[in-house]
Homo-oligomer: A and B are copies of this chain.
Amino acid sequence: MIPVEIVVTGNELLQGDVLDTNTNWICRRITALGGRVERAVIVRDDMDAIVREIRSCLERSARLVITIGGMGPTQDDVTVAAVAAALHRPLALHPEALAIVRRQYEQFARDGAVDDPTITPVREKMAHVPAGAAPLENPVGAAPGVLLETDTSTVVCLPGVPAELKGIFEGALQPVLQQLFGESAFLEKLAIVNCKDESVLAPVLQAISEKHPDVYLKSRAQRFGSDVKFRVTLSTTGSSREVAEQRIVAAEEDFQRALSAIGASIEAVDAQVG
């Protein structure tokens, strides 16, 4: 299972001004690809804080580290500089990144979005990447994403504007993700269980989890009520889709059996991916 960590930057998130939906979006996609997001952290737009988090991800040997946000032209956008500092690499103007930024501002000028497409120092900031990194085409905004390989990890920097993040993730980043995750497959099944009390269900879940360590069983905590049914998800990530399916089927059979022993059953099953 390929461990992934996410580092999100933005004071506006920690002030509660903006709800972070990017992390959920990325988590869903990484999970569907067969990756395992181990951890996601939001820090302020502070160089030292971001450097500390990036290093901590690398020390834990996260295979893929994704940063989100802090890539714009303003002075408080310091994520790429922090990645460079965390890896002890100089930050340098990248010709290909500069070409991307230039093309975007020329397009913005044609669209009337900016008055003048000239690459000012403030705009040029977005074309600086850590030594050895490559830019990732941003189909929506001016700031290219950044891709950087270390001996042990792949570090990817994505902008915080959701449309830009999605554009890069689904575009320029796809070949990188395909290579990283290969044939891995995530599979999730949702079982609706006619048991209204989680404390009765808990020992059953525990027994099945122990027998099927590769399958993750989770009952979703709900309100209490006489008409409550529990939603239990069974999920696994296998080296292939077939492996994942076999695991889920085996766990589901044992789960059915254990439920009937406490007078409950699975009322409905819904296969979900990602």
A: residues with CB less than 8 A from B are 11-21, 23-31, 36-44, 49, 72-76, 108, 111-115, 120, 122-123, 140-142, 159-161, 163, 188, 196-203, 205-206, 209, 216, 218-226, 228, 233, 235, 274
- The residue of chain B having its C-beta at the shortest distance from the C-beta of A203 within the complex is B122
Instruction: Given A12-B218, A199-B73, A199-B122, decide whether A20 and B23 contact each other with a Cβ distance below 8 A.
Output: yes
Q: How far is the CA of A184 from the CA of B220 in the complex (A)?
A: 38
8 A-B pairs within 8 Å (CB atoms) are namely: A14-B40, A16-B31, A41-B41, A41-B42, A76-B205, A111-B226, A113-B197, A141-B221
Q: How far is the CA of A142 from the CA of B228 in the complex (A)?
A: 15
Residue among A26, A209, A218, A220 facing the most chain B CB atoms (10 A cut-off): A218
- Contact B11–A218 (Cβ < 8 Å): yes
Contacts of A44 in B (CB 8 A): 38-39
Instruction: Given A43-B39, A75-B206, A206-B75, decide whether A12 and B114 contact each other with a Cβ distance below 8 A.
Output: no
- The residue of chain B having its C-beta at the shortest distance from the C-beta of A8 within the complex is B40
